[in-house]
Amino acid sequence: MTSSILEVFGFGHLKTSPSWGEVPFLCPKILTAQGLRLLQNAQISKVRVLMRYDEALNYISQLSTNISQHRREYMETILGKLRNPHNNLKFIHIAGTNGKGSTANYISNILSSSNYRVGLFTSPHIERWNERIKINNVEIADQDFSEIAGLTKYAVEQMVLEGLEAPTIAQFLTTMALQYFNKMQCDVVVLETGCGGKMDPTNVISSPEVAVITKISLDHTNYFGNSIIDIAKEKAGIIKENTDTVLYPQSEEVTKILLDCCVSKNAKLQQPDFNKLIVMEQNIDRQIFSYKGYKGVEVTLLGKHQIENAIVALEAAEVLIKKGYKITENTIANGLKNTKWPGRVELLCKNPVFILDGAHNLDGIEALASLLKEYFPNKKIIFIYGGLRGKDNEKMIQVLAPLAERFFLIPYNYHRAVPPKEIAEKISSFMDNYKVCMSIEEAIKQSISTSVDGIVCVAGSMYYFKEFKDYFNHKEEKLN
């Protein structure tokens, strides 16, 4: 077969453009082994694979989530079949336990404000898969998503034919994102790791413009080890030879691991000095702070931890300035001010106050509790809580309990969701101000109608946020 443009319809209807003649096979479900062999020598980057958007989403959602199978070699193989799109791109690479998504968005917006074409890859999504892949804050279009998903699936089928396993969701989406950013000729890409570092699919890239490590705490211990040292070593895996590195101030033991890694790799290290932070204004709509020579910087993400994340992004911007990036104090200020990040102390309603937050590990819950104490002193809060399997739900609820008027425990549709009755059994030994709800809508309505101080906060997971957002988008009709 000599044609360079092929069209693959659905999951296997394959033919060439009319000018190239007929293809000698047709398969209604999947590409046949014979068909794949015929195409082994075709340049995959020039193959056009047509999948419907719903087919692409269905295919991706059925892939594995087992991150223990992540290997750099796998990513090198699949990207090699796609002509290594990542080799044409520049990256800011971000790892950490908490704050990496916010920091990624801050940096992306600083660069966008500085007139760069900026790719942004984050996870998870809240409402649509497309949220994970953006350029200058615009989600990848459904058509592009479908086309690149089909192209990636075709490369996967070749690999399976060669005896390799299918990818995880993270591997597949990372591959898609790198193709899209290359296709759209991004000037720079802000690349957030999933939950790892060294073994994360994003770590297939070579030395980035700057590596950023946000706050590290215990999480995903079933994959990376039970100690903070193990977690730190995994996150440090994104630090490469001679890489400029910005490091969020950590505990002494974590800092030592990361500093040792920087020294061993001759990486140039920059750390924020939070002692130079002055918080000037803090309310439910915005925060204003000064840091070093930057005066009156505004952010709309709430909580002191979000100011700290903004400072990490600011320090990363200073590294990029030294590398020749045309970033100014004004574009830094505009980028930080215009950053929105759904599900991070997101205010869905002001009367009553209804907060949606993605805290899902102990460190995140502690940051949330600190914020709520600061913003709502001497107030009692109703918490709507949905737990994730593998998290210390009992301890996280204990952290929130002193602030709580009541807990509403909710069910939701996710494979790692913990049934609310199971959580209730664990917390019944130390509290009784909770109720097991049959649905999210029940929890919303009862929390709003029974709250004494008019404050409701959702926490524990991010995998049910769409239902809350949908509810408040149609609030008037549902409350009546």
Concatenated DSSP letters for 121-187?
E----SS-GGGGEEETTEEPPHHHHHHHHHHHHHHHHHHHHTTPPPPBHHHHHHHHHHHHHHHTT-S
What integer pLDDT is reported at residue 100 of this predicted model? 92
Token pair, residue 474, equals 């149609």
In the block, tokens 């803090």 appear at 282
Query: Could you tell me the pLDDT band of residue 292, with boundaries at 50, 70 and 90?
Result: very high
pLDDT exceeds 50 at position 124: yes
Average pLDDT in the chain: 87
255: which residues sit within 8 A by CB, 6+ positions away?
247, 249
Sign of CA dihedral 20, 21, 27, 29: positive
Position 13 pLDDT exceeds 60: no
Strands 6-9 and 13-16: antiparallel
pLDDT band at 21 (very low <50, low <70, confident <90, very high): very low
Question: What pLDDT shows up at residue 279?
Answer: 96
**What is the pLDDT at residue 121?**
98
Confidence at residue 18, expressed as pLDDT on a 0 to 100 scale: 34
Q: What value does the mean pLDDT take over residues 263-291?
A: 94
For residue 92, what is the DSSP state? E
Percent residues over pLDDT 70 in the chain: 86
**DSSP category for residue 418:** P
Tokens of 305: 């931890």
Residues forming beta bridges with residue 407, ordered by sequence position: 383, 434
Across 400-429, average pLDDT: 93
Q: What is the pLDDT of residues 331-342, one digit of tens each?
A: 999 999 999 988
Q: What strands lie across the sheet with 47-50, from one edge to the other? A: 13-16, 6-9, 47-50
> Which pLDDT score, from 0 to 100, does residue 377 have?
93
Sign of CA dihedral 34, 37, 43, 45: positive
Alpha-carbon distances, residue 327 vs 295, 315, 378 (angstroms):
17, 12, 43
pLDDT tens-digit readout, 136-161: 999 999 999 999 999 999 999 999 99
Rounded to 5 degrees, φ, ψ at 133 are -125, 110
pLDDT digits over 177-227, tens only? 999 999 999 999 999 998 778 889 999 999 999 999 999 876 545 555 568
Q: Which two structure tokens, joined as six digits, stand for 378?
A: 């001497």
Gap between the Cα atoms of 141 and 28, Å rounded: 27
CA-to-CA dists, residue 221 to 69, 391, 404, 430, angstroms: 15, 9, 28, 26
Q: Where are the beta strands (DSSP E) in 314-397?
A: 346-350, 353-356, 381-385
So what's the pLDDT on residue 14?
43
Residue 338 has what pLDDT? Answer: 96
pLDDT confidence of residue 439? 95
CA 217, 218, 220, 222 dihedral sign is positive
Rounded to the nearest angstrom, the gap between the alpha carbon of residue 100 and the centroid of all alpha carbons in its chain is 8
Which among 17, 51, 46 has a CA at the least distance from the CA of 31?
A: 51
Q: Say which range, 177-186, 372-381, 414-423, 469-478, has the weakest mean pLDDT.
A: 469-478
- AA letter at 66: N
Residue 225 contacts residue 257 (beta carbons within 8 Å): no
Beta bridge partners of 287: 282, 299
pLDDT for 475 equals 66
If we measure between CA atoms, which residue out of 23, 33, 55 comes closest to residue 153?
55
pLDDT surpassing 60 at residue 32: no
More confident residue, 138 or 31: 138
Query: Would you state the pLDDT for residue 177?
Result: 98
Confidence (pLDDT) at 23: 32
Q: Determine the Cα–Cα distance for residues 381 and 402; give it in Å rounded to an integer.
A: 10
β-pairing verdict for 133-135 and 138-139: antiparallel
Cβ 316 vs Cβ 304: under 8 Å: no
Predicted confidence (pLDDT) per residue in 242-257, tens digit: 999 999 999 888 899 9
95 has a pLDDT exceeding 80: yes
Which residue in 439, 452, 437, 436 sits closest to 478, CA to CA?
A: 439
CA atoms 211, 216, 221, 226: torsion sign: positive
Whether the upstream peptide bond of residue 352 has omega within 30° of 0, thus cis, is yes
The pLDDT of 267-290, averaged and rounded, is 94
Two structure tokens written together for 148 = 């690149």
Contact 78, 167 (CB under 8 A): yes
| Range name among 117-126, 281-290, 355-364 with the lowest pLDDT average | 355-364
